């Protein structure tokens, strides 16, 4: 696919939906993300590149092994 | 006992009413008994899209206020066996009916009809609350735009609170040439973001504008959008139908390429 505007649209939507879904600013979500990482890494060995937090309407998914990316 | 399905989107102008009209006709063509209800009080539109605007006597508010019986407010579409419209009121506003009243009405209708389709107004205020009150199933209509998808996501959250856990998704006005250029989100992009099951995608089709001008459905016509709507209706009834390839240009170009190769 050529470099169109879709990537920008998807990026904007991604942060927009997270803040809509949990009713917080993108900055706050970044903090949640990093604090969750710190909390989990106390007990489990993980690397930042393979750690992801996803918020859908009903669930918060925490990915540890990077299987989605 | 029939199913009560609300067709909603959050954002206005994405094609809820056109979708409701076409699904109504399509289900009727599949020999289901269907009633479509316009719940947009004050901004009546479904009657015009269906070409039934000249036959209105009573409306939804008349039924709820007890000015007439349910049967008197149902307009039979003469072109399609088994299809009825309950129009909205043009001179009342959203506060004229309550969610509880709509729920009672749809319950009664579901005893007689296979499908009760509710065309929901835009927004998330009382009009939305009224429309979803009686629904057991929901169809979320969106277009591949940031604003429409954002609103659809909010609606999905609100539907969840009304105990409609997995609404179905219709993506409207897809333009394949723009998707290919990377300037429009694809069906896959939108489905992945919203994370609900895809019921179908409708291409942006001039035929829909022409059909709406004439107050005709596009669903019986020999065009891509018509076929896409028909497939959606079959999926609603539980049939498994493969997704259409919306990329017509590719077909023609492919055929041309073959032609040149064989020469």
- Do the Cβ atoms of B157 and A3 come within 8 Å? no
Q: Which range among A55-69, B25-39, B83-97, B177-191 shows the weakest confidence by mean pLDDT?
A: A55-69
Would you list the domain boundaries of chain A? 2-64
ipTM of the modeled complex: 0.80
B189 to chain A: closest CA residue: A10
pLDDT tens-digit readout, B54-80: 999 999 999 999 999 999 999 999 999
- Do the Cβ atoms of B146 and A7 come within 8 Å? no
SS (H, E, C) chain B: CCEEEEEECCCCCCCHHHHHHHHHHHHHHCCCCEEEEECCCCCCCHHHHHCCHHHCCCCHHHHHHCCCCHHHHCEECCCCCCEEEECCCCCCCHHHCCHHHHHHHHHHHHHHCCEEEEECCCCCCHHHHHHHHCCCEEEEEECCCHHHHHHHHHHHHHHHHCCCCCCEEEEEEECHHHHHHCCCCCHHHHHHHHCCCEEEEEECCHHHHHHHHHCCCCCCCCCHHHHHHHHHHHHHCCCCCCCCCCCHHHHHHHHHHHHHHHC
B194 to chain A: closest CA residue: A56
Residues of B with Cβ-Cβ distance to A4 under 8 angstroms: 181-184
- Do the Cβ atoms of B185 and A10 come within 8 Å? yes
pLDDT tens-digit readout, B153-176: 999 999 999 999 889 999 999 999
Q: Of residues A57 and B107, which shows the higher confidence score?
A: B107
State the pLDDT at residue B259. Answer: 61
């Amino acid at each position: 696919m050529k470099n169109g505007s879709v990537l920008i649209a998807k990026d904007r939507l991604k942060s927009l939906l997270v803040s809509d879904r949990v009713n917080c600013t993108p900055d706050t979500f970044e903090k949640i993300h990093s604090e969750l990482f710190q909390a989990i890494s106390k007990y489990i060995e993980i690397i930042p590149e393979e750690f992801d937090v996803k918020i859908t309407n009903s669930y918060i998914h925490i990915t540890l092994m990077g299987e989605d990316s | 006992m029939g199913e009560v399905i609300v067709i909603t989107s959050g954002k206005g102008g994405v094609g809820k009413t056109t979708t409701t009209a076409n699904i109504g006709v399509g289900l009727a063509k599949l020999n289901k008994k269907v009633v479509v209800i316009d719940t947009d009080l004050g901004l009546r539109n479904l009657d015009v899209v269906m070409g039934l605007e000249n036959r209105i006597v009573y409306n939804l508010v008349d039924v709820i206020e007890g000015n007439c019986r349910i049967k008197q407010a149902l307009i039979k579409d003469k072109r399609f066996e088994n299809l009825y419209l309950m129009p909205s009121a043009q001179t009342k506003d959203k506060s004229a009916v309550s969610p509880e009243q709509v729920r009672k009405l749809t319950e009664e209708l579901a005893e007689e009809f296979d499908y009760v389709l509710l065309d929901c107004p835009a927004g998330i205020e009382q009009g939305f609350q009224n429309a979803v009150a009686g629904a057991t199933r929901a169809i979320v209509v969106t277009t591949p735009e940031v604003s429409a998808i954002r609103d659809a996501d909010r609606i999905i959250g609100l539907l969840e609170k009304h105990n409609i856990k997995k609404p179905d998704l219709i993506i409207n006005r897809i333009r394949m040439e723009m998707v290919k250029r990377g300037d429009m989100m694809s069906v896959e992009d939108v489905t992945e973001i919203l994370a609900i099951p895809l019921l179908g995608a409708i291409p942006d089709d001039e035929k829909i504008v022409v059909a709406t001008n004439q107050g005709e459905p596009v669903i019986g016509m020999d065009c891509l959008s018509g076929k896409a709507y028909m497939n959606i209706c079959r999926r609603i009834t539980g049939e498994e139908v493969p997704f259409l390839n919306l990329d017509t240009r590719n077909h023609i170009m492919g055929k041309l390429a073959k032609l040149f190769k064989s020469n």
